[in-house]
Amino acid sequence: MLANLLLASFDEEMRQGGNILVRYADDFLVCCQTKEAVNDAKVRAEHALDALGNLELHPDKRAVSDATDGVDFVGFRIGRSFTRVRSTNVAKFKNRIREVINTHKPKSDPDWDLRSLSRRLSYKIQGPIDEIRKHNPAKHPHHRSWIGFYRIVDDEKQIKNLDRWIREQISRYVWQHHHKKVTAKHMREAGLPSLHGTLWKARKPPESA
C-alpha cells in the first residue's frame, strides 16, 4: 500500500510515454515496441524515481528482454504465448520439499511412515487448508498455497513435471529407509495431494473448490 502511494507520480510519468506499465509494489515492467522506446522508458524511470528522493533502479533488475523468450516478473516467466513459474522459484519449492523429506523421522512401519510423510508434504502442496476453513470459511482454501499463488500459469507440463519429481523423491526415501517400492497409487491412498490437482482447485471459486 505504501509503495502504491509513493509511486503514484511514477506511474503517471511512465504512462505518458505511450508504453504499457505493469507494476506490483516496487517491481515493474515497461512494455515497449522499439529500442528507442526502451531507451526513453529508462530515462523517464530514472527521472521519475530521482524526483521521489534519489531512488534508483536496482542494477540487477533493469534488464531488457524480448517478450518472445519471456521475461521474469514477481516469480513468473511470462512470454507472448506462455506463463510459467520462474525457474528460481521452482528451485526454491524443490528445496522446501527436500527439507521436509530430509528432516522427516522415519517410522518403523513403511505404510505408517508414508502416511506421516504425505501429511507433512500436503501442507507444502495445499497450504494451511484446515486453518483457513476454521478461522475464515469465506476465504479460498487453496489460495494460500505455493501453487495457489501461481494459479494463472498455463504451462501444464511444468506443473506435471513437478508432480512427478515429488513422487520420485518420495519413492527414493521409502526405498532408502524400507527397501520397498511405492507407486503413485500408494502415495495417493496415503493422502499425498497432487500439485497439478491443487492448481485446478485453486482456480475454482471458493464454493466449488
User: Residue 189's pLDDT is what?
Assistant: 97
Distance between CA atoms of residues 87 and 94, nearest Å: 11
Distance between CA atoms of residues 184 and 209, nearest Å: 23
Question: What pTM value is reported for the model?
Answer: 0.84
Using a 10 angstrom Cβ sphere, with 0-12 exposed, 13-18 middle and 19 or more buried, the burial of residue 34 is exposed
Closest CA to 161 of 108, 87, 68: 87
Distance between CA atoms of residues 21 and 183, nearest Å: 47
What are the residue ranges spanned by the domains of the chain?
Answer: 2-64, 86-208
**pLDDT per position in the chain (209 positions), as tens?**
888 888 889 998 888 877 889 999 888 999 888 889 888 988 888 888 888 887 888 877 778 888 888 899 999 999 988 999 999 999 999 999 999 999 999 999 999 999 999 999 999 999 888 888 888 877 888 888 999 999 999 999 999 999 999 999 999 999 999 999 999 999 999 999 999 999 999 998 866 55
Question: Which amino acid is located at 203 in the chain?
Answer: R
Could you give the 3-state DSSP secondary structure of residue 44?
helix
User: Residue 67's pLDDT is what?
Assistant: 83
